[in-house]
Copies of this chain bind each other. A is one copy, B any other.
Amino acid sequence: MAAACAPLAGDLRSQLLASVDALLFDCDGVLWRGESAIPGAAQLVNRLQECGKLVFFLTNNSTKSRELYVEKLQRLGFRAHCQQIYATAPCAALYLRREIQLCGSVYVIGGAALRGELQAQGIVCSGPGPEVTPGTLQVWATEPLDLTVAAVLVGFDEQFTYLKLCRASRYLRDPACFFLATNTDTLLPLEGGGIPGTGCLVKSVEAASKRTAYVIGKPNDFMFKCIVNEHGIDPSRTVMIGDRLDTDILMGSNCGLRTILTLTGVSTLEEVKAHQESDSPERHKLVPTYYVNSVADLLPGLE
């Protein structure tokens, strides 16, 4: 039997908030949509911090540095500083430097922010090399590779090309070459229905290399582990708040946290119900502990 996914209302709000020291917020669909803050979200986040709660921002988006996130949060009225930001670009850099202590450079499929975060950790980015190598496919199949490359990292890359796919797959033929992805979301939500997410690029590199990437982002627990290491938070006194069952809520479940689904983003209560009614224990992990219509609904719990 899966958890109940209770509406977080009435006294339950203050009880829950009293029982947590740390709140982990997904950003897009939870605190804002595009360039508009969710009404009341900034008041909640600021009030939580005034009450002494630890607040962290967790995002799978790999196109922004910590600094750019702080800038956006502040622009939308949220009190925030760099140490609260856990995004896949800086966390990928941390993983390469601290966890696997990479010796060598990284072949990056991704944008300027991802490269910047790697460089900030002292990691050298290879290439990308000339984007159009003259000659035939046979030239692409045999062009010299950068012998210093010891990892391939795939993030969001609007300049993704077949040639980058080709190069990544050739580096990954060496089983000693690490294979990392920032995240596996297949949709980047935007007005107009969104565009393909990083996960679509990861799929093509996985197919070409017949390997599976280690994924930094949610639902994996790496970003949460970073927060525990750096801030010493207690999982039993932490709650994860997100709009996606398959990333935010699943990460919370994977890390043993209580979870809150907010209905201002991607997932719906109908999806929750389908997971609850399923016989699969794996799907039960996608059921949040609580839900709210908007994170602003938590505000009265602080009064």
Contacts and interface: CB of A to CB of B under 8 A. Distances in A.
Interface stretch (A45-53, A137-145, A260-268): A137-145
Contact of A162 (B160, B173, B190): B160
Given A159-B162, A162-B160, A196 B208 contact: yes
A208 B193 contact: no
A13 to B, nearest CB: 35
Contacts of A205: 200
Contact of A195 (B140, B206, B207): B140
Interface string A180-205: 00000011101111111101110111
Contact of A190 (B138, B157, B192, B204): B138
A280 interface: no
Contacts of A195: 137, 140-141, 166, 169-170
A212 to B, nearest CB: 13
B162 A196 contact: yes
B194 A204 contact: no
Contacts of A188: 137
A165 B142 CA distance: 26
B190 A137 contact: yes
A210 B166 CA distance: 24
A155 to B, nearest CB: 12
A163 B205 CA distance: 17
A158 interface: yes
A191 B160 contact: no
A88 B193 CA distance: 32
Contact of A160 (B142, B159, B161, B210): B161
A204 B193 contact: no
A199 B207 CA distance: 7
A192 B158 contact: no
Contacts of A165: 160, 196, 200
A85 to B, nearest CB: 21
Contacts of A141: 190-195
Contact of A200 (B142, B161, B208): B208
A28 B169 CA distance: 22
Given A158-B137, A191-B142, A166 B204 contact: no
Contacts of A187: 208
Top 5 A-B residue pairs of the complex, sorted by shortest distance between their CB atoms:
A196-B208, A142-B192, A160-B162, A204-B204, A141-B192
Interface of A: 137-138, 140-142, 157-163, 165-166, 169-170, 173, 186-188, 190-197, 199-201, 203-208, 210
7 contacts: A138-B190, A158-B162, A160-B165, A161-B162, A162-B196, A166-B196, A200-B207
Given A140-B195, A196-B208, 13 more contacts: A137-B190, A138-B192, A141-B195, A160-B165, A162-B196, A162-B201, A169-B195, A169-B200, A186-B207, A186-B210, A200-B207, A203-B204, A204-B204
